[in-house]
Amino acid sequence: MRAPAGGRRFGKDMQKRTLIVLASLLGALAAWVAVVEIRGEKDREREREAEKRVFPLGDADIQRITLDGPGGRLTIERGAQAGTEGGWRLVEPKALPADPQAADALAEALRSLTSTRNIEATSGPGADFGLEEGAVKVSFTAEGQERPSTLILGRATPFGDGRYARVEGEANLRIVPAFEASALEKTVSDLRDRRVASFSEGAARKVGLTSPGGTVDLVREGETWWVLGTPRWRADRVLVRNLLSDLGNLKARDFPEPGAEGDSLAPPSHRVAVDLGEGGRIELALGGEAEGGTTFARRLPDGELVTVAKYVVEGIARPAEEWRALAVADLDAWLGREVEATWRGQALSLLKDEQDAWKVSVGGAEAKSLPPERASDLLRELTGLKATRSGEPGAATPGQELGRFRISQSNGPEARFTLSREGDECWARVEGDPAAMALPSCAIEEVVDGFVKDPTAGDDTAAR
């Protein structure tokens, strides 16, 4: 007797469902196995790497390192300088600030040191491997250690890609990669702090520069730097930024013996003083010719004699008139966020919203979308305006006014200026400047006229 057709179909459906469920379970199991295998392989790889480490320190920080070699002994300690928790200081052969990056690199080189092979020391005294007299000895103490760990570095292996080494207390020798061993061979010159001055550009409030050509005083008000004098002028933002960057990152090229400067710093030919507000004050004296195209320098009042790059002196010696800003809108176009203007009596407004989309309004009309490239083009033209000369301080702006502008950046700074035309010559007057500035051409007039006439020119979306 045959089963009903509906029963046969039900049986086939159940078989299909069972197969699907089994296939899904097998797929999930395979995926789980793959994940476990991948994780397991990563764990095994980490274990293999850990096994290669000469010093398994875990998370312990190295606190003290001593190097003994042909050049003598040097020692650095972490936190050995008051007020520098976690920092480093040289304590041998004399107390000196240590370069934090160089000291951290040395500690990391010890922590990550690996050995490619262990060998039995059965072929004679250690001198055969360069491990006796003249060998480099590196000792260190890490957190939780009662006694220091010591590594002795010997000569290179026959092929030169490794160095023989011995950890004190171990019978066998190790072979460590040559490049890892070289990272441990440092001198006082490698590890001492070479920073002559260290501060951020934003911390500077005043700068005083003295050279044979005279004295220049720069002062910061908000985001604008000014050249003090009668009258006072806006300072070139790029020149000031470059000077502060050079001074704030100034490093010694060398540390000559006292007296090597002769009469170069008595008195110095150049001086610079940077007022850092609550951060204090930094004063430097510079002068004379040193080796390698450098100049002598000393941080006042009683800093160590050093040599520094000569281009620093060139920046200090710049005459006052060269510090004057010739840029009309001393801003970065790509940071522009808002433009408010009146052009030929008509209001013009551009604004970038929180989604970085631009809107434009002309003559008080409802704001509409603006292609970003159109906004960028206009900002580039306006922030790229540079004068060729200045007019008479205190004199009225020449010619008939074309428009007034206020341009704001997303990070705060803004520029306010007026454009005018007299005959074939166009002028700009920046708010706060004592004189108008002549522009090289009147091309900006055509640019703004075209923008006001059709802000969305070339934008098919706006046209639709």
Pair 393, 356 in one domain: yes
Give the whole-angstrom CA distance, residue 57 versus residue 266: 52
Pair 183, 259 in one domain: no
Pair 370, 262 in one domain: no
Report yes or no: 234 and 329 within 8 Å, Cβ to Cβ: no
Pair 290, 358 in one domain: no
**Strand, helix or coil at 104?**
helix
Pair 80, 112 in one domain: yes
38 belongs to a structural domain:
no
Which residues lie closer than 8 Å to 41 by C-beta, 6 or more apart? none
26 belongs to a structural domain:
no
Pair 295, 371 in one domain: no
Q: What is the pTM of this model?
A: 0.74
pLDDT of residue 261: 78
| Cα–Cα–Cα angle for 23, 28, 34, rounded to 5 degrees | 125
DSSP symbols for 304-345: PEEEEETHHHHHHT--GGGGB--BSS-S-GGGEEEEEEEETT
* Domain around 222: 201-323
Report yes or no: 197 and 250 within 8 Å, Cβ to Cβ: yes
DSSP symbols for 143-175: TT-SS-EEEEEEEEPTTSSEEEEEETT-SSEEE
What are the backbone angles phi and psi of residue 241, rounded to the nearest 5°?
Answer: -60, -40
Of 168, 191, 214, the residue that ends a domain is 191
CATH of the domain at 223: 2.60.40
Q: Which amino acid is at 279?
A: G
Q: Of 244, 239, 263, 255, which is closest to residue 299 (Cα–Cα)?
A: 255
> Which residues, listed in sequence order, are joined to residue 72 by a DSSP beta bridge?
69
What are the backbone angles phi and psi of residue 195, rounded to the nearest 5°?
Answer: -70, 120
> Which residues, listed in sequence order, are joined to residue 166 by a DSSP beta bridge?
152
Which residues lie closer than 8 Å to 165 by C-beta, 6 or more apart? 54, 115, 131, 151, 152, 153, 154, 173, 174, 175, 176, 181
Two structure tokens written together for 81: 């300088």
16 belongs to a structural domain:
no
Pair 185, 79 in one domain: yes
Pair 91, 177 in one domain: yes
| Cα–Cα–Cα angle for 108, 251, 204, rounded to 5 degrees | 110
**Strand, helix or coil at 265?**
strand
Q: Of 423, 381, 415, which is closest to residue 398 (Cα–Cα)?
A: 423
Pair 240, 270 in one domain: yes
Number of domain units in the chain: 3
pLDDT of residue 50: 55
29 belongs to a structural domain:
no
Q: Which amino acid is at 226?
A: W
Pair 319, 337 in one domain: no
Q: CA separation (Å) from 93 to 170, 182, 185?
A: 29, 21, 16
180-209 in b/e form (b: 16+ CB < 10 A) is bbeebbbebeebbbbebbebeeeebbbbbb
pLDDT in tens, the chain (464 residues): 555 555 555 566 667 777 777 777 787 777 776 666 665 555 555 555 557 799 988 888 999 999 998 889 999 999 755 444 458 999 999 999 999 999 999 999 999 999 998 888 665 554 578 888 889 999 999 998 889 999 999 999 999 999 999 999 888 899 999 999 999 999 999 999 999 998 999 999 999 999 999 999 999 998 899 999 988 999 999 999 999 999 999 999 999 988 887 778 888 999 999 999 999 999 999 999 998 889 999 999 988 899 999 999 989 999 999 999 999 998 999 999 999 999 999 999 999 999 999 999 999 999 999 999 999 999 999 999 999 998 889 899 999 999 999 999 988 889 999 999 999 999 999 999 999 999 999 999 999 999 999 998 755 444 33
Q: Where are the alpha helices (DSSP H) in 211-319?
A: 237-248, 311-316
Residue with tokens 């703004």: 448
Residue 142: its H or E element: strand 136-142
Give the whole-angstrom CA distance, residue 336 versus residue 371: 14
359 belongs to a structural domain:
yes
Two structure tokens written together for 331: 């801003």
Give the whole-angstrom CA distance, residue 282 versus residue 271: 11
Of 274, 292, 323, the residue that ends a domain is 323
112 belongs to a structural domain:
yes
DSSP state of 133: T
Of 323, 353, 372, the residue that ends a domain is 323
Two structure tokens written together for 240: 């000031």
Pair 164, 87 in one domain: yes
pLDDT of residue 81: 52
pLDDT of residue 4: 55
DSSP state of 320: G
Give the whole-angstrom CA distance, residue 43 versus residue 165: 28
448 belongs to a structural domain:
yes
55 belongs to a structural domain:
no
Pair 72, 139 in one domain: yes
Q: Is the peptide bond before 267 cis (omega within 30 degrees of 0)?
A: yes
Q: Of 226, 217, 235, which is closest to residue 275 (Cα–Cα)?
A: 217
